[in-house]
Amino acid sequence: MSISRTRLSPEASRDAALEAARILLIEEGPQAVTLKAVAERIGRTHGNLLHHFGSAAGLQRALAASMAERITAGIGEAVRAARAGDADPRLIVDLTFDAFGREGGGALASWAILTGDRAALDPIVEATHRLVDRLGPHDGRAVEGITLSLVLTALGDALMGAEMAQALGLPRDAARDMAAERLLAFAAPKDN
């Protein structure tokens, strides 16, 4: 008996593969994001995904690019809302920490580094750079430094925050809280 497959446009097939890869990343980690595993999740063939991504590394790079664009868009909206007084700046910190933690960005970045595929980090770095350029300075102050601090703190927290906080007798969200304090201090109006 043959299995009938729904015909998808190339774009829809690629989008379905990236969503399945994202779910695998969250559920099982970056090592589980293989062409075979993603193909099984969406009822496609390994060859179909090979056509779209070229390799598992290509799939992981495309996943990093997709995640980076979606996440930086959300963070950009949060920054604009916070600057307008319509949102709590803490949301920016929470979105960044969640991107690296709960959404698997930290694990994916670490996997890229450990496997020697540092090019997989390019979409994350480039999306962050584009966001900083689009947002521009805050009250005349450059945002690159606070962005670097926030990203690296969120990445470190995703990788070993729970263990380090426990070892130091600190609450689990201590790094997140400290990052929020730094961001709030940066965003506070400066006295002239």
User: Does residue 136 register a pLDDT over 70?
Assistant: yes
The pTM for the full model equals 0.87
What are the residue ranges spanned by the domains of the chain? 57-187
Distance CA(157)–CA(77), nearest Å, equals: 23
Distance CA(17)–CA(120), nearest Å, equals: 17
| Tokens found for residue 174 | 């201590």
Sorting pLDDT into bands at 50, 70 and 90, what band is 12?
Answer: confident
So what's the pLDDT on residue 95? 97
So what's the pLDDT on residue 6? 64
State the chain's mean pLDDT as an integer: 91
What is the sign, positive or negative, of the torsion defined by CA atoms of 77, 80, 85, 89? positive
Distance CA(88)–CA(103), nearest Å, equals: 21
Distance CA(47)–CA(39), nearest Å, equals: 9
83 touches 131 (CB < 8 A): no
State percent of the chain over pLDDT 90.
69
Distance CA(24)–CA(116), nearest Å, equals: 21
Distance CA(129)–CA(8), nearest Å, equals: 33
Distance CA(28)–CA(37), nearest Å, equals: 11
Q: Nearest 5°: phi and psi at 169?
A: 70, 30
The four Cα atoms 177, 183, 189, 190 give a dihedral, to 10 degrees, of 110
pLDDT tens readout for residues 14-68: 899 999 999 999 999 888 988 999 999 998 888 888 888 998 888 888 999 999 9
So what's the pLDDT on residue 4? 41
Residue whose pair of structure tokens reads 């906080």 in the numeric block:
165
